[in-house]
Amino acid sequence: MATPRTTDVEGTHILVVGWSGDWYAIEDRCSHAGCRFSEDGEIAGFHAICDCHGSEFDVRTGDVLSAPAREPIATFRVRIKAGMIEIER
């Protein structure tokens, strides 16, 4: 897994994750309590885990995998162009 990177796109904090040659981008904020994965969480495979309360999300879809979160997180399309990562909002 590539080291997750954070960026800001139009005021939204985004976490970019590389795994098995593919790239994923999620909003860097848990939908349960608003904790940032980059500060209070971890990425394990395709799981974004919020250490504040234990919610887990799928970085590919944003779907909730483990409560207490009930709402999915935002995901963004990623593409590589001329060796640069581009995120579609």
For position 33, which CATH number holds? 2.102.10.10
Number of domains the chain contains: 1
Tens digit of each residue's pLDDT (9 = 90 or more) over 33-63: 999 999 999 999 899 999 999 999 999 999 9
Distance, CA of 25 to CA of 89 (rounded, Å) = 10
Residue pair 48/37 in contact (Cβ under 8 Å)? The answer is yes
Residue pair 87/76 in contact (Cβ under 8 Å)? The answer is yes
Largest CA distance in the chain: 40
pLDDT at 31: 97
Mean pLDDT across 1-14: 87
Does residue 88 have a pLDDT over 70?
yes
Residue 56's domain spans which residues? Answer: 5-88
Average pLDDT taken over every residue of the chain: 93
Distance, CA of 4 to CA of 21 (rounded, Å) = 13
